[in-house]
Chains A and B, each alone.
Chain A
Amino acid sequence: MFKHIMVPVDLAHPDALQSALKVAADLAGHYSARVSYVGVTGPQPSSVAHNPEEFGAKLADFAAAQKAKHGISETAAHAVTSHDPAVEIDHVLERAVSDLDADLVIMASHIPRHFDLGSHGGRVASHTSASVMLVRA
C-alpha cells in the first residue's frame, strides 16, 4: 500500500512527536515501507544546532536512532535549510513530498506552532498527491 513514509519532525520539541513516530514505525513495518524524517532549519543558530551542517548531522543521528529503536528496515534523514522557516514551512513540506516521492505523510498535530493542527497537514494534503495522517499527541 505505502512504499515511502515521510515524517516531518521538529527536533526542538521531540516529546510532542512520540505518538507520530510510533505510528510511522508501526505502519512502516506493516507495509515494509521506508521512512524519511524531514527537518527544517534556518541558516542561523537555533536551539537544536549551531548551523545547518550540524542540524543535518543531528537529523541523520535521529533517523538512525529511530531505525535501531523501532527496527524499521530503512530510514533516511532529509534536512532542509529555509531562509524563513516560520512562514516557509508549508512550502518546504510540499517540496519535500515531491522530492522524496513519499506516498504517506505522518505528522504530529500538537507540536507548538510548527505543525500546529490542520493548517500544515491540510495544506500538504491539498497540494500534494500523498496521503496525510495527523497523529494527536
Chain B
Amino acid sequence: MTDQNYTEDVDAQGIPSPEGDHHLIKTDYDIGQDNVEGNVGPIPFDIHNPVFAISGLVVMAFVFFTLALPDFAGTAFSAMFSFVTQTFDWFFLSVGNLVVLFCLALIVLPLGSVRLGGADATPDYGYVGWFAMLFAAGMGIGLMFYGVSEPMSHFASSLGGTTIGEDGLRTDWAPLGGAAGNEAEAVRLGMAATIYHWGLHPWAMYAVVALALALFTYNKGLPLTIRSAFYPIFGDRVWGWTGHIIDTLAVFATLFGLATSLGFGATQAANGLTVLYGSGVAEEGTRSFLGLPFGNTEDSGTIDSGALLVILITAITIVALISVIRGLDGGVKRLSEINMGLAVLLLLFVLLVGPTLALISGFFSSLGAYFEYLPALMNPFGREDTNFVQGWTAFYWAWWISWSPFVGMFIARVSRGRTVREFIICVLLIPSLVCVLWMSVFGGTAIQQFLVDGYEGVVNAPLELKLFEMLSQLPLASITSLVGIVLVIVFFVTSSDSGSLVIDTITAGGKIDAPVPQRVFWCTFEGAVAIVLLLSAGGLASLQSMVISTGLPFAVVLVLLCVCIVMGLRTERAAVMAPSSAK
C-alpha cells in the first residue's frame, strides 16, 4: 500500500449511521467543496467563491461610489427609503406578526421537544455566558441609543395629539390615535409603542433565523450558512446559484444592518464625548472636542467635523479587530460579559437613584399597556398613523430583519444542546422582558423628570443626546455618562466582532476555521461602510435607507425559513420517536 492510499481508507470509513437521536440530511455536498484556497503573498485564504467575490466586490464598489458622489448618493438613498417604507410597510408588519405567532406556537407544540445537536447533546455555554452573548449581539447599541429617546419621543408626540396636513394625511408622529393632553395615557401609549418595537417581534425574527440555522447545522449536518436552512424546499439546488443568492443577501443585510448600528453608536459616543469633555456652546456653534467642531445646533451655522466620527469608528474598529483575532471565547465572549456587567450596573444605578417606586410600578403598567395596545399596533392595514408606522415600525422591522442573519447565526453558533422549547423561551421571552425593564427604567426616569420635576432637557435634546441629558439630572452624572459612553463603545465592538465572524463564515461556505485574515477584511469593511455612509450627504439617514432596502428581500427569506423549520423539525422528531417505538 502506498502512502497515498490511506486517504481513501479514511474516506471509506464513511459517515456513522445516525444513532436514532438525530436525523442527518444525506447530501453529496461536501463542506468547502466550492471553496478556493490559496495565498495572497503571505496571507492565506479559504473562501466560497461566488459569495465572497460578489459581496466583497459590491461592498467595495459601494464604498467608492458613495465616497466619489456623496451628494448624489445621499439623494438616492433618501428616495429609496421613502419608496420602500411607503410601499412595503404593510409587508414588514405582517412578517413581524407571522414570526411572533410562529415562535409562540413552537413553544406549545410537541415539535418543541427536539434538542438542537441531537437528543443527547449538552449545552456548550452556561446560561450567563450564553445570555450575555445573545444580548450583546442582538440589541447592543440600539438599547443605548433608543433607551431614553424612544419612550420619550413617543410620549411627547402622543401628548401633542394628532394634526392633519393639507393633503388629509396625518403629519404628527404619534402612535395610533395619540393621547392629546392626557399625560397618564401618553406615558402608557409611549411605553407600549416602544416595547412593541423592542419586545417579542425583533426577538422572534432572530429566533426564527437562529433556530433554522442551529437545526440544519447541528442536527442535519449541513454547513453553518443561511442556505442550508433552505434544503427542505430547494434540495440540492441550495448548493448552486439559489444558495449563492440567499447567502449574498444575508451578507448584505448583515453588513448594512451592522453599519447602521455602528453609525448610531459613533454618533452617540461622539456627542457624549463632546458634551462631557468638549468645550464651547452648541447654540453659538463653538462646541468642539479635541479641536474638532461637533454637536453644534443647526441654527448656529457651524458644520460638524466628520473627523471625530472617523477617528472614533477607526479606533473602535481596531479594538474589534483585536477581539476577532482573539476569537470567540477569548475575545467576543469576554467582552460580552464585561458589557453585560456594566449594563446591569448602570440599570441598577438608574433604578435605585431614580424614582424607584414609580419605575417599578411603571414596569408593570407598561407591560399591561403593551398587551392592551398590541393588537392595534400590530395591525398592518388601514393605519392612519402613517408617520409612526413608516418612520418607526417599518424602519425597525427592516433593521431587525437585516440583523437577523447575523444575530441568528451567532445565536445558533452558541446554542447547541438546548431544546427548541428552551431555546425559544430563552431567545424570545427573556430578552423581551429585559428590554421592557430597560426601557421602563431609562425611558421612565426621563418621563418622570419631565412630569414631576418639569425638566425639559430630555424632550428638547436631539435623539443621540437624550441619554446623557437624563443622566445629568441624577447624582454622579460625570461617572454614569462616562459609563454610558464606554457601554456604547463596547457594544459597538461586540456587534462588530461577532458580525465579522458571521460574515466570514457565510462567505467561507460555512467553514468556521477559515483563515483569520478574512475576518480582518470584513471587520475593516464594516467600519468603512459606516464611515462613508455617515459622511455622505444623508448621514445617518443614508444608513437607515440602506438597511431598509437590504432588509426587504430578507423579509421574504424569513417567511420561507418558518416553513423550512417545520419541515426540518418533523423529520427530526420522527427520527427521535422511531427507535423508541421500535424497542
Do the beta carbons of B222 and A45 come within 8 Å of each other?
yes
Interface 9-residue window, one of A26-34, A49-57, A98-106, A125-133: A49-57
Does B516 make an interface contact (CB < 8 A)?
yes
In the complex, what residues of A have CB within 8 A of residue B16's CB? 53-54, 57
Most buried by B among A49, A65, A85, A113: A113
Q: Of B117, B222, B516, which contacts A86 at CB under 8 A?
A: B516
In the complex, what residues of B have CB within 8 A of residue A58's CB? 10, 13
* Count of chain A residues near B, Cβ 8 A: 35
Does B218 make an interface contact (CB < 8 A)?
yes
Do the beta carbons of A51 and B118 come within 8 Å of each other?
yes
Task: Say how far A116's CB is from chain B's closest CB, in angstroms.
Answer: 7
Query: In chain A between 72 and 121, which residues have their CB closer than 8 angstroms to a CB of chain B?
Result: 83-88, 112-114, 116
Do the beta carbons of B515 and A113 come within 8 Å of each other?
yes
Interface 9-residue window, one of B152-160, B197-205, B276-284, B327-335: B327-335
Do the beta carbons of A45 and B10 come within 8 Å of each other?
no
In the complex, what residues of A have CB within 8 A of residue B510's CB? 44-45
Does B32 make an interface contact (CB < 8 A)?
yes
Do the beta carbons of A43 and B218 come within 8 Å of each other?
yes
Do the beta carbons of B44 and A61 come within 8 Å of each other?
no
- Complex: how many Å from CA A58 to CA B10? 7
Do the beta carbons of B4 and A69 come within 8 Å of each other?
no
* Count of chain B residues near A, Cβ 8 A: 44
- Complex: how many Å from CA A18 to CA B7? 10
- Complex: how many Å from CA A11 to CA B33? 15
Instruction: Kindly report which residue of chain A lies nearest to residue B33, judged by CB atoms.
Output: A47
Interface code B43-75, partner A: CB below 8 Å = 1, 0 otherwise? Answer: 010100000000000000000000000000000
Do the beta carbons of B327 and A62 come within 8 Å of each other?
no
Q: A46 with B511: in contact, given A14-B7, A18-B4 (CB under 8 Å)?
A: yes
Do the beta carbons of A86 and B513 come within 8 Å of each other?
yes
Most buried by B among A43, A88, A114: A43
In the complex, what residues of B have CB within 8 A of residue A87's CB? 325-328, 330, 516
Q: A112 with B37: in contact, given A43-B416, A87-B516 (CB under 8 Å)?
A: yes
In the complex, what residues of A have CB within 8 A of residue B325's CB? 87
Q: Of A18, A47, A50, A112, which contacts B511 at CB under 8 A?
A: A47
Interface code B320-346, partner A: CB below 8 Å = 1, 0 otherwise? Answer: 000001111110000000000000000
Task: Say how far A134's CB is from chain B's closest CB, in angstroms.
Answer: 17
In the complex, what residues of B have CB within 8 A of residue A47's CB? 30-33, 511
Task: Give the 3 A-B CB pairs with smallest separation, nearest first.
Answer: A50-B221, A87-B327, A84-B328
Q: Which residues of B line the A interface, CB within 8 A? A: 1, 3-4, 6-7, 9-10, 13, 15-16, 24, 30-33, 37-39, 44, 46, 117-118, 124, 217-218, 221-224, 325-330, 413, 416, 510-516
